[in-house]
Amino acid sequence: MNPRPLWLAIAALALASCGAPTPSAAPDTLVIAGYGGSYEEAFKQSVIPDFERTCSCKVTYIAGSSTDTVAKLKAQQAAPQIDVALIDDGVQNQAVEAGLLAPLDPKIVTNLGDVIDLARLPGDVGVGFSLNATGIAYNTDYYAKNGLPAPTKLADLAKAELKGKLVMPSITQTYGLGALLIAAKVGGGSEQHIDPGFAGVKQIAANAVTFDTTADVSNYFLQGQAVASVWGNSRVQMLAKKGFPIEFVYPEEGALPLIATVNVVNKAPHPGLAQRFVNALLEPSAQQAMAESNYNGPTVKGVQLAPDLAAKVVGQERAAELRKLDWAAINKSRSAWTDRWNKEIETS
């Protein structure tokens, strides 16, 4: 499939969201802090230029991880310099608790009512604009050549044949936390009862060649150091797009959602413009474009994707099967879990 250029899709949404530009007005500068990599590239090539044209504004994009972005928001809390923050849902909950984010205005963010339940956030302080999932990634060639059946559950990563061939994500990043939470559920635990999670992860971690802290394990697969991992669907699809023999598995015990959220910063310098930018990302054409460029699932109802693309993203039928996580409980315990992980998992 040759998807249409991303800028064509964004142009229509920007016009719908912002109306006609007013050349006589002095341009404001909207500051967005968000993800680097493919997200940053897509935003700078298409989202930002069209939004600037139609809203008579300038946009500055500051790339960084979710934790980096929230650290900036905390440092600037008395005098914010960032208008819009793109951050993962777990870290977003911490930002909400710290009073760093503002509620969305449904009179401006008119697409809010079309967002699926999984991506709606408490009090509509921010909203999910793209959907991913944490599950299992594996090298299909290696498994076939060694007569191994495709993994179907997390426990399959503990098989003896994978000794020294598993890259295990650290708990300091989302995929490691996801492994812990999936293992907890398998053992009858939950966010509130994590002991079964540590027991399950300890069995898998015995096969680990390393514990990754970057969330990008592409090189481990490309160099043959690892043939399996706990990883995200969109990252797996991006590697597969390059011709690498890799597949993503939704584990039978349930994959976990990974939601990218867009947020208006509390006391942002340009709150109205920030609200309009949020609405732009929720336009169906933008949702479709992000799926085409990064394999991120739409969070807005009724977005139509070509069948081959729909099979590769976290679609809304699949989204209905993902469980909402109790991020308040997770974040309350995460520091203690990290200490325990370091003592029981990575040093065992």
The pTM score is: 0.84
Write the DSSP assignment of 258-303 as a string of letters. EEEEEEEETT-SSHHHHHHHHHHHTSHHHHHHHHHHH-PBP-BTT-
Confidence of residue 248 (pLDDT cuts 50, 70, 90): very high
| Residue 129 C-alpha from the chain's centroid | 9
Mean pLDDT value across the chain = 90
Can you give the residue range of the structural domain that contains 267? Answer: 6-131+257-319
Q: Residue 154 domain-assigned?
A: yes
Provide, rounded to the nearest whole percent, the portion of the chain with pLDDT above 90.
73
**CATH code of the domain in which 34 resides:** 3.40.190.10
Confidence of residue 215 (pLDDT cuts 50, 70, 90): confident
Structure tokens at 259: 């939601």
- What digits encode the pLDDT tens for the residues 278-312? 999 999 988 888 898 889 999 999 899 999 999 99
Instruction: Give the number of other CB atoms < 10 A from CB of residue 52.
Output: 17
Could you give the CA distance from residue 270 to residue 285 in angstroms, rounded to a whole number?
25
Note whether 251 and 331 are same-domain residues: yes
pLDDT average, residue stretch 248-257: 93
Could you give the CA distance from residue 81 to residue 234 in angstroms, rounded to a whole number?
31
Confidence of residue 214 (pLDDT cuts 50, 70, 90): confident
Note whether 116 and 191 are same-domain residues: no
The pLDDT score that the predictor gives to residue 26 is 54
Are 199 and 155 within 8 A, CB to CB? no
Report how many domains make up the chain.
Answer: 2
